Amino acid sequence: MQQPAGVILAGGLSRRMGGGDKGLLALGGLSLLDRVIARLEPQVADLALNANGDAARFNTGLPVIADTIDGFAGPLAGVLAGMDWAAAAGHSHIVTAAADTPFFPCDLVPRLILAAEDAPIALAATPDPERGLSRHPTFGLWPVTLRDDLRTALEGGLRKVVQWTDRHGTAIAQFETEPFDPFFNVNTPEDMARAEELLA
């Protein structure tokens, strides 16, 4: 597999943070988005930001790609936008990461690639004491060859990531949760306070 392109998913509505762009909030002097870029950029061949609205507000130097499915269709709409962008640039796969998850693993991409030897899609996961394993569907490796299938599913009303991935066969790349879950994401002001503690 060639080195995948990266897509940072920043198209959510951030309701629990009062709206706006969570990724632009500062954590330890850097925005959440800058922290995500710093972790993902060394792992991928190319990088873009999936977000809707005025692209100029980000000022990251990255291409900003909007959802092509109307009505805030969730993370899968961002995956589709990323697939379309990557296919046009000649990439065979994308890896997605959420813009509000500043501590995700620095070996995310190689471990997703390794997991994907057994299935077309790979998702990150961590142990969960109640469910056994908790999948993190915004952190995945996706072949761009599935973009027409995904477009059809979204146009048909499908929104849940795992409902779509389970149709195609999905491998799991499991990461540990010590000393804390690396996929901890900032949804609320309380989460931001926790992120400051983790950073310290």
pLDDT digits (tens, 9 = 90+) for 161-173: 989 999 999 999 9
pLDDT at 12: 58
State the Cα–Cα distance between residues 95 and 104, nearest whole angstrom. 13
Kindly report which listed range (7-21, 65-79, 93-107) carries the lowest average pLDDT score.
Answer: 7-21
Other C-beta atoms closer than 10 Å to the C-beta of 22 total 25
Q: What is the pTM of this model?
A: 0.93
Closest of 143, 184, 182 to residue 165, by C-alpha: 143
Residue 177 DSSP label: -
State the Cα–Cα distance between residues 98 and 48, nearest whole angstrom. 12
State the Cα–Cα distance between residues 147 and 70, nearest whole angstrom. 16
Kindly report which listed range (13-17, 45-49, 54-58, 62-66) carries the lowest average pLDDT score.
Answer: 13-17
Closest of 93, 92, 101, 83 to residue 36, by C-alpha: 101
Is the domain spanning 5-199 CATH 3.40.50.10380? The answer is no
